[in-house]
Every structure is written in C-alpha cells, then in structure tokens.
Structure 1
C-alpha cells in the first residue's frame, strides 16, 4: 500500500527563486517589486510579520520549562486525542515516516512534535520543538502560525516562509476548534519536504482536524461529570547561572542578584532535589567538611530569600528546597533532549558560574559543557557546529574544527579560516 506521504512532482525551481527574490526585496524595503510572484495569502502574512517586527533569521522563544510543559500538556483538551493524531497522520513506523507532525495550542505554542527522527533532528535546529512559540507574530509566516491567524487550513511552501531558517521546509496546518463553542483550541501541522504540501496532504490534515473535533464531542457526551478545576500553578522560579558569577534569581516577575556563595548553594540544592546532608553540601561548596561554616551561611541565605521567594527557603535535615527551582542550564539540556541544537546553543550564554571553584559547581559546569558538546558533535548541522566553534568553549576544540572542515563543501570560503585555526593549534 503506498504511503500517504508519497512524493509529488517537484515544483519548478524557478518558482522558489522568484519567491525568494521577492522576500529579499520586501526586507530591503522594496515592497512593490516582485510581489506579483507571491500568493496574496503569503504577501499578507509577510506584511503582518514585518509589522510584528519579526526577525528574518530569529529563533522562536521557548515558552515552557520541561516540567511546565508536561503539566500543561496533561491538562490541555487535545491531550486525549493524541493517539488519534498519530494513527491518522503517522501510520506505520512513525520514526521513518518522512514527516514531522506537531500539535500546538491556540497561542501557537507547540506541545507535541513527533514523527521521523531524522527530520525532527533537522527541524529541531530551527527551533521546531515542543514548547516553542510558532505564532505568526513570533516567527513570521509558517503553516501553524498562519493557520491560527486566519483560522483556516494553510499550506506554506519553502521560500514562502518569512524566516529564512525555515525555508528549506514545507508544511500544512489546520486549526482545531471546540466542537460546541467553536472556540479555537489549537492547531495540527505536518512538516517535511514537498510531500507535506500536496493537495492530498491538505485533505488529510483537514480531515484529521474534523475527526479530532468529533472525538472531543463524543468524549464530552460520555463524561459522567466535569473535571475538577485545576489549581493555579505557583509562580515559576528560575535561577540564571550561565556566563555569570552572581546568579540572578527570578520569581514572580521580580529579580534578585545573589552573592557568589549563595548562588553556589542554591544551584546545588536545585540540582539535588532530594536534598543534601550538611556534610555533603559543605563538601560540595567548600571542598571539605565545613558544617560550622555552612550553617551561618544558610541562615543568611534564608534571610535573603524569605521576603522575595518564601517557597525557596531551604529546609534542614537534609538541606533541600521545598519547591522546584529551574535553572537556565537545565533549560539548555532540555533543548538538547528535544533536538533543538541551534536554540540550545543560543541559550548557552557561557559556563555555569565560571569563576566558582566549589567542587559541586565545577561538576555541574563540566556536565553541562560536555552534554552540549557531545550533542552538537553527534547530531548538529554544519551551521550550528560553526557557531559553536566560535564560542569560548569551541574555539580551541581541534576535534570540532576538523569535523566542521570535513562537513564543508570543497569550495567553501570558510575552509581556509578553519585550516588556519587548526594549524595554529597544532603549533601551540
């Protein structure tokens, strides 16, 4: 039986070139030139993208930390129909389907991104991952964002995307509504090559959206009672530790800069959520058992946190945080797990508390640094690897430089610079 995603006849290359030139003219301020080569739907979306000050090569923002994403997904109305989405859009072996299927909420935030593993790795580099905001006013013209804006199914082909990072891909998306109130619930999207924007693809995505709405209505009629209301989630706490020695604690819209020692302690308690004994924490901070030194420091830390973040005031025996605390380092690791290498590298603003010599902090620093490097070396594309090679961590990494050299085309002008850097490292 042929796949639902069998490849269609390839669109003329000249069409893509004309659209790309029109895109360049628009960004240069020459709106009236060449736009006749672009569909009106796309023209209008490009203009809205410009009005929203969308960057032509920007990365989407990640709206959820990993634990927030899981909690939000569990409570979303579309969580109960994900098996149907997979059955209709990812038949057979999803990991080798040739497409990626995404389901997002009404605000354009992707909640599930599944499908072909290789395609997910490639699209992850442009930030097409769960938790990312793909609303039109955030990333410009794309099928999921534009479908939500227009409240109708949309196909966007290659160069029609406003963001240049997305232009290698094509996608079809359709909105999903509440079956009774018609309130917008979210969007389903199929992303891949030309096979993702055939007429058959649009029919299938539209049919899936209607099937979802029917299933939601049936489930509602079968329900014996309305679900109990969810409790409001507490304010998110975030500890920023990358590239800075005095960590910044953000809680409920306010920010507090911590001393170097308090930053070390709070980081270690955030990493060891099960808690640490006084002896273990003092060794992780001071490199030896120094409980009598640690205890007054903990008293001072409690006094600092109590007015602004009472839910983070550490408990004793063992020392632990009563509430969860995310760090920007964990954010980077979460992005790597989702395959968003380019976004992870952009979020990695430097080593963890770079001047700290606390053994526990050094261990966290090297763990994050190693995880980033290993993920990029194993899976990232050449553009992301070249960007990593320009960071403090990557600029003297001969293995990374040689890998970049092996991946570049033979006539790439970037090869000469890489060769010179490798030769300098060999001399040194």
Structure 2
C-alpha cells in the first residue's frame, strides 16, 4: 500500500523537500465550508469522539472533506502548534496530490483505514509524524465524504490507533445510514399516498426504493436528471419527474416533467411553484433561481458568487445555499455547472419576451413592479434597471392613460413625474386618477 502511494505521489510531482500543506480555504470562511458539507450534522458527534482520544494520548484529531481539506482540528495544544508549522490545521489540504503519502491522503485514495508511520511519509518534514486515518463513505452514494485522523509524533502514536479512527468512521457511516433510511421512509409514505402507482420511486441519488418489485431497474440507476428518459426492457422508456426530494419514473404513459414557475416581479414575496406545490422563497434562493433563469446554460459556483456578491463573493457560500435550495425544490438544480433542469416559466422572462411586440396593455399587466427589488446582486440590479427602463419607455411611447395608471401603481411608477404628468393631462380633471396624479406631483 505504501509503495503504491509513493508511486502515485511521485507521479503527481510531489516534492519530498516541501515543508507544509497548501492553504485552500481562508480560516474566516471555515464556517461556510462546514455548513455546506454533508457531514455537517455529524461534526459535533465526531469532534467529541475524536477529541476524547486526542486529549488522552497527547495527539491532534482532524476531520477533512473528500479532497483532504481540513474542516476541523483539536487536541493537544503543543502538538497542534507543531501541526501549524506543517499546515495540519483548518483550511489546509492533505490529499496525496498535495502532500504525498500521508494518513489522510492515502486513506482517501485507498478508501480504507491506514496507518502511516514516520519515514513511510514521502515528504521528509513528516518523518517525525505518524498518523492513523479512516475514510467516511456515504452509504447512500458510496462516495467518500471525508476522513477522520489522529496524528502525533512518531514515537508516541501506536498502530492500534487505526482501529479507533476506523470505529469513529463507522459511527459516522451508521448515523448517515439511519438518516438515509429515515429519508427513504418519508419518501415512501408520500409515494404510498399516491393513487397513481404507475411509477417507480427513486431517490435523488439514484437508489430504487419503491414500485419495482420485479427488480426491473436493479438497486440503482445513474443519478437522475428531471425530464431525462430511461430505457426500460420491452422497448419501453420511462420519464423522470421530481417528487418531493426524490423522483418518480413514469413507465406506463408518456408524461412531461413539471414546470418550475417563478414569480419574482413586484414587492410581494417571491415564490416558486412546482408539481402543484407553491413555495415561499428566501431572497437569496430567489436571486439564485433568477440568475440561473437568466443563464440557461448554467453557471459555476464562482460565477454565481460573483454575480451575487461581486468581488467579495465566496463560492463556498453558494454551494451551501444550493444545498438548501435543493432540499426545498428537489433536484431541479443540477451541478457542474449549476443549471435548472426542468421546464421554466418566470414572470420576468415572459415580460422580456413580449416587450418588443406586445401591446402596451399587455406589458402593463405583466409588470407588477421591479425584479426582486430588495436584491443587491450586481447582476440582478443591472437586469432590474434594464427591464424598468424598457417597460417605462414602451408605456410612454405606446400606452394609454389606463396603461400608464397601471404602471403608476408600481414601486417606481408611484413617484415618476413624467408618468404622473401624462396621466394628469390625459384624463378629465374630475377623474380620480388625474386627481391622484396631481396630488402626487404636488407632494414634497
């Protein structure tokens, strides 16, 4: 195992004379990193277990993500100060491609518990260290989620420590399995409540958990994409549609995936409707959906972060928000890049489409107010301002007094002097709309 790890490390160009792990995350962003990670609900349990081991044996305990990036560290203060000098600390990366053979990186690469002692490390600076580490493997996806590690100076770390970190990893996997089964049961209960059972129930990760007693699909299908067609035996095809936080595979009749409907114009609360469910959106989730609607080919986490926050953005925060958004809307957003995977109807996109050829009356009716008026996103501010200018110009050029009055009820139209003057001069003096327009014009 060590020989194979050295070969991988040398092939990756690791310098045995290097002195420290690279810093990947700013420590100030570690809270966001932890919140975005699937192990976040178990961090307290793991930290408590590992800290007890490290305190008793004068070592340092570490939890990483699947890339070997340290998410949490605690233990003996003197050993942690030594760890600081080699980057065995929050935000640093310990994958084999960064640090060569080491407990964390090799455990992740091998997908099994390992003990790396002293000069088994490729980098010379690590020869005074020994470490025992074990990967945590998601029972839902069979993917490595992260790693738990106990490290210390070479003479003091007993090889039996590997059994302790292995048990800790198994504890995490057991908790993950329990949570998975609870999610499955909730999904099955919703599925059982359906009158139409002409479908197969599939989790968001592709596991088949209902409606397939003959094992037509096996235990798992590729990770589903809404609207995707799956070939079935007997020259049939099934179409996937979102169902709560999973999917239904319709096998007996053609169907189309449900449409995601967004209502983001005006001063009301932004909402999304899908599969008959109407959901209230937080401002951040509404902003993300609006940006994805404006960029149908998709956006990376870095692009989304820039469009939302400008140069101060943090892609880790975006990943955490996407995780929460998918918990609310199911797998309607896919990754790499992030994009919407279901048919979309959005009030602001509809307005953009009709501006060039629709009547002023249709435009006025389609515009209840600005796009997400509370948003400070640079990209959405630009889109909001452009839409406002286009609507206003269209109505001033083509609109009747009725159309202008409709616009005057919006957030920006209420105090628009040109709109109000046009209303006041186009309607009889006794018309209540003309009276209201003159009153607004006289207001300080």
Return the TM-score normalized by structure 2.
Answer: 0.41
Larger-Rg structure: 2
Name whichever structure is richer in helix by fraction. 1
Query: Which of 1 and 2 has higher RCO (CA within 8 Å, sep 6+)?
Result: 1
